[in-house]
Amino acid sequence: MGAKFIDLSETIIEKIKSGELLPGDKIPSENELIKKYKISNTTARKILLEIESKGWGRRIKGRGTFVLNRTAEHHLLRTLGSIDATRRGFHDYLKAEGYAPKNIILEKTILKDGISSEVSGKHYIIEGPVLKVHQLRYADDDLMKDEVRYISLNLCPRIDRLSTEISYFKIYESTYHLKITDIKQTLSAEIFSKETPNNNFDSAAPIPVFILDSVLLCKSDQVLELERSYYRGDKYKFSIIVNPVYNESAEGAGKGYKYK
């Protein structure tokens, strides 16, 4: 039995090393391991303990075991185009990776006249009133993200009364029963120096910064949220989820797959 739990733990660790399981992802639970590998409770528990003891995972009481960041540069990984990744939320994501998250709120106010932004070449508008939340997001003592978020108070009344440490995406779904129908995102990059206006990153030397503009759409293409966030380029890596959909009717025309 000892060899079996070691072999199975190595199987899961290989999935982490290959990128099949990413930092912050949830590792299969004891019950899932029991069902998949036809093993006992004891063996399943030992598998998770082995993964954690080798530094590949971290158990969070009541929630499960999550993949830790083991990259040499210790970059955080942000996944674009993934509703699951967006649903997780920045605060929960950092805790799952073993960081101590901290937020500093620079502004939390209600805009009566609404807001507009261009994302993916299209203009999006949220009619007022709109909640604006500007906060600095830290992992341990490092500022990782400078985030400005605009939320429709018509679709989410009184959301301004909630903590900013929540996953807003989860609140949209669970509290306001809104179904997110689409996420549009644009990623660009700039070099920030000490002279760059509104640069909140405390770095003596110039640093690369990723700029992410995004919009969340719900029923009838209503704009639920607009966001502009600045990510430290020396602390982040981005991956992109592309979902190929096979189109049989287009196979003969050289258009067998489309991507969304």
Q: How far is CA 127 from CA 216, 226, 244, in A?
A: 14, 12, 34
Please give the Cα distance from 174 to 192 (Å, whole number). 38
Query: Where are the domains positioned within the chain?
Result: 2-67, 76-241
Rounded distance, CA 181 to CA 83, Å? Answer: 10
pLDDT of the residue at 52: 87
Q: Please state the pTM of the whole predicted model.
A: 0.68
CATH topology of domain 76-241: Chorismate lyase (3.40.1410)
pLDDT tens string 96-125: 777 788 999 999 999 999 999 999 889 999
Q: Concatenated DSSP letters for 200-226?
A: ----SS-EEEEEEEEEEEEGGGEEEEE
pLDDT score for 71: 58
Mean of the pLDDT values across residues 249-256? 48
Residue tagged 């003891």 (tokens) = 53
The number of C-alpha atoms within 13 Å of 246 and in the hemisphere containing its C-beta is 3
The pLDDT value given to residue 246: 45
What CATH code would you report for 2-67? Answer: 1.10.10.10
